[in-house]
Homo-oligomer: A and B are copies of this chain.
Amino acid sequence: MDVDREQFKQLLKDKGLKVTNQRVLVLETLASCPGKHLTAEEIYELVKVDCPEIGLATVYRTIQMLLELHLVDKIHLDDGYVRYEIGSAGGAAKHHHHHLICLSCGKVISFEDDLLEELEKKITDKEGFFVVDHEVKLYGHCKECGGKLIEKK
């Protein structure tokens, strides 16, 4: 499932781009960490394990390319870092998942929900704005931290 390595190689070829070890490794690193939200630096460190000679600039250039191919999504979890995660691409509909961000411990929980369909329809009707994609962040306190908060108070 997900982004298949061969499929990716083919996509690069179709676009006239070259298939390099670095590009494959960056994509695979992101693909193998679906829950995690990696920064450029973290991707760099992970890829260096298999390819120690890679440069940080290549990681940035590759991420840029993956963003343009919509294979990867950029996210801001408001901790001051720009993060990336493998996109929902591949398949049919937008399966963009959402993020629950714990204000106490900083934990990020991903979850799927298409409850926004209704909202999107409403917007198209009301504003004449055709919605293609969305990103939702919910801030709050997770189960563990919520408990602690009550204890303290």
Using a CB–CB cutoff of 8 Å, the interface residues on chain A facing chain B are 74, 76, 78, 100, 102-103, 109, 111, 113, 115-116, 118-120, 122-123, 127-143, 146
Contact = CB atoms under 8 A, between A and B. Distances in A.
A141 B136 contact: no
Nearest to A135: B137
B146 A141 contact: no
A131 B139 contact: yes
A109 B123 CA distance: 11
27 contacts: A74-B78, A100-B123, A100-B127, A100-B129, A100-B131, A102-B129, A103-B132, A109-B127, A113-B119, A115-B118, A115-B119, A116-B136, A120-B138, A123-B138, A127-B143, A129-B138, A129-B143, A130-B141, A130-B146, A131-B139, A131-B140, A132-B139, A133-B138, A133-B139, A134-B139, A135-B136, A135-B137
Contact of A134 (B118, B128, B130, B136): B136
Total copies of the chain: 2
A129 B109 CA distance: 9
Contacts of A134: 136-139
Contacts of A143: 127-129
A130 B140 contact: yes
A136 B136 contact: yes
Contacts of A122: 113, 115
A116 B138 CA distance: 10
